[in-house]
Amino acid sequence: MFSEAFTVDVPSDAPVTDIHLSMKPSVDQTHQGFKWNDASVWSHSSSILNGTFVENNVLTGNGAGMLWDFNTNAAGWTFSNSYSGRVTSPACGYNGSSGGSLRTYAGSTYATSPVTDLSGVSTMPFHAWIHEGRSGCGETPDSGENLQFQYRTTSNTWTTFHTFTAAGFSGTPKTNFQFMTSLPAAALHTNSQIRIHQTSGSSTCCDYWFVDDVHYATPPSAEWTSPSIGFSSSSFQVVERGPWAPLHLDAFIPEGAHLNWTIVDTSTGNAIPGMSGSGMGWIPLQGVNWESITSIVLHLHFAPSPNGEMPQVYSISGDGTYFTSFSEDPYDQGWTMYGGSIFSSINKSVEGVWNDSIESPWYSSTASLSELHVDATANTAQAQIRTSPGQSWTNISLPYSMSLLGNEGTVGSYQLRFTSSSNNSSDSWEVFDVTMGAYGGIQPTSPAIDFAKDGILEWGGSDARVGSWGWQDRFENGLTYISANPGISGSSSAKAWIPAVDLTSFTFSALSSSGTLSSVNLNHDGQTVANWYVESGSSQFVLNHTQLADLNASVANTNSLVSALGTYFTEVEFEVFGTGLVTLAGLGVPYEAQSTLVATADTQFILGLNGIRDSLSSAGG
């Protein structure tokens, strides 16, 4: 691609004899950032909810089911009269060795559940423990003193879906009976409720029924598919054409539960190979080839914990934005609290007083940086930032922006801290959520000057393995991705050149498909400088500052170097362990690039410049 924006004024009456030029790359910013954190996205008409629903702007799964065990209270159930209620005795009247249950007796009565939104569910298994009274455990209901299970319809009427017929004196009472069925389709709506109805009774001495462990049982899964994200104006979330940035999942995953993600190519409807994984945190979307895949959707699969708890998604952010709410302990997302600062699960915030603080993990750029942005919802808190571990903290006012235009490559990572903005030791501070933006874009690849457009370069050109000038994003094959398939052998490797400078950031992604990715090593000059064990499938990898220091020390002592566009490069090896297919992608190594040209009369640059000068018209001398 040619540009004629570069011009040089030359004399019309004499040839050029020498020239001095200094050139450096600049970022064409494409990232603008977005965050999704409310029902307007979760329940958008182009979203697909299958067993998922929105509660208080949180996306979760109906598949979490609902278990009412009545061990500590009535759990929101209501009772029509004194003939029904929660009891803790007799011991024969509940399931297990301790706890409580619902009891009906004496006469006609209703016990009604709380409202539950089952609108996104196609089927809902229903379980309950039933125990009919008898001598020594209440008293046996007579004929006609039956127990019914009913559901509420959308028209607010009640329909019976099962009746337990009383045994009477001549029958055998139900004993520890596990009742299992599926709720009718008419029971599955926004305001779903069930109720238990004893049809009649004789008096308060008699006619006992006990019900325990009422359970909307968990279906196999709950799923949500996002609206589209893409370069086209028809996308729900429009992003500018350029390198994809990672997505961030701010979520809570109960122990034993699972939250799995998959990126789907909108144009084909198929999952992108390697773009699937599990857990909260980063989704390495930067590993997707933006020149061939221009629109995607995110598919989430919710699986419950053994006790039926479902994951909860608080937000999804992307296109350079990272948003986190302190709805859960920030320690789980890599934040560190110092002094007496604490996480408040009630206020969903981090709190402290004078001399307390909280620090974020280090964040690394995944594209050529042009701007950093910081904002937060906070009270009496001072925000601070630094871009290297040895740097002092700098106070910033929110919202804050740092432009890197003209200083590309100088910042590769950054860290935040919050502390008290008050000098009064008794004043408290509080932080509820944080928004960060690392907005990048495109830097020139293989820049060159060709005055005559004849393919004979007067300056520049580059080895394809160098990639973007000032942002190393290519592997040894000259592409932004490379195969490193362990196959059945268990290991494989690939290589890349990196700038032989004091690196401030190093990131890449490994996309696994048709097998299992277990670990990755990064080697230089035959020595392992970093390694990672993988638990969640396809992942983004970032060198921490200890690993960066080891890599920089190794690079400083190497003699194996090549030069391109004024910068020396050295080779690193990625060693991949596992099975199946693995693609390495999303390589990002920033460096400060600059080229100084001193050309004299007999150089190709001056000869080419004078050759094109002869064909120009004079513009006043």
Q: What is the residue type of 394?
A: T
Tell me the pLDDT band of 64, cut-offs 50, 70 and 90.
Answer: very low
User: 56: burial class by Cβ within 10 Å (0-12, 13-18, 19+)?
Assistant: exposed
Task: Answer yes or no: do 52 and 81 share one domain.
Answer: no
At which of 300, 319, 338 does a domain end? 319
Whether 257 contacts 305, CB under 8 Å? yes
* Distance from C-alpha of 215 to C-alpha of 485, rounded to nearest angstrom: 46
Average pLDDT, stretch 404-428? 92
Structural domain span for residue 499: 457-597
- The answer to whether residue 407 sits within a structural domain is no
- For residue 8, the model assigns a pLDDT of 81
Task: Answer yes or no: do 191 and 308 share one domain.
Answer: no
Average pLDDT, stretch 316-344? 95
Task: Answer yes or no: do 81 and 207 share one domain.
Answer: yes
At which of 302, 319, 336 does a domain end? 319
Q: Cβ of 329: how many Cβ atoms within 10 Å?
A: 14
**What is residue 31's three-state secondary structure?**
coil
Q: Report the run of H or E that residue 609 belongs to, with start and end.
A: helix 604-613
Q: Cβ of 571: how many Cβ atoms within 10 Å?
A: 18
Asked if the bond preceding 399 is cis, omega within 30° of 0, the reply is: yes
- The answer to whether residue 535 sits within a structural domain is yes
| Statement: residue 81 has pLDDT above 90 | yes
Q: Tokens representing 414?
A: 């950054």
- The answer to whether residue 351 sits within a structural domain is no
CATH at residue 205: 2.60.120.260
Task: Answer yes or no: do 272 and 289 share one domain.
Answer: yes
Task: Answer yes or no: do 173 and 282 share one domain.
Answer: no
**What is residue 6's three-state secondary structure?**
coil
Task: Answer yes or no: do 232 and 106 share one domain.
Answer: no
At which of 164, 192, 216 does a domain end? 216
- The answer to whether residue 566 sits within a structural domain is yes
Interval 392-411: pLDDT, tens: 999 999 999 999 988 888 89
- The answer to whether residue 452 sits within a structural domain is no
Q: Which of 211, 200, 192, 193 is nearest to 85 (CA)?
A: 211
Average pLDDT, stretch 101-127? 89
pLDDT above 70: percentage of residues in the chain = 97
* Confidence (pTM): 0.74
Q: What is the residue type of 263?
A: I
- The answer to whether residue 410 sits within a structural domain is no
- The answer to whether residue 488 sits within a structural domain is yes
Q: Would you say the C-alpha torsion 57, 62, 63, 64 has a positive or negative sign? A: positive
- For residue 170, the model assigns a pLDDT of 66
Average pLDDT, stretch 1-19? 81
Task: Answer yes or no: do 40 and 160 share one domain.
Answer: no
* Distance from C-alpha of 568 to C-alpha of 562, rounded to nearest angstrom: 5
Tell me the pLDDT band of 374, cut-offs 50, 70 and 90.
Answer: very high
Task: Answer yes or no: do 468 and 487 share one domain.
Answer: yes
Q: Report the run of H or E that residue 556 belongs to, with start and end.
A: helix 545-556
Task: Answer yes or no: do 169 and 199 share one domain.
Answer: yes
Q: How many domains does the chain contain in total?
A: 3
CATH at residue 526: 2.60.120
Task: Answer yes or no: do 153 and 234 share one domain.
Answer: no
| Statement: residue 319 has pLDDT above 50 | yes
Task: Answer yes or no: do 468 and 591 share one domain.
Answer: yes
Task: Answer yes or no: do 90 and 178 share one domain.
Answer: yes
* Distance from C-alpha of 463 to C-alpha of 466, rounded to nearest angstrom: 6
- The answer to whether residue 434 sits within a structural domain is no
Interval 191-241: pLDDT, tens: 899 999 999 999 999 999 999 999 887 655 678 999 999 999 999 999 999
* Distance from C-alpha of 336 to C-alpha of 359, rounded to nearest angstrom: 5
Q: Tokens representing 596?
A: 């100084």
Interval 123-172: pLDDT, tens: 888 999 999 998 899 999 999 999 999 999 999 999 999 999 998 766 77
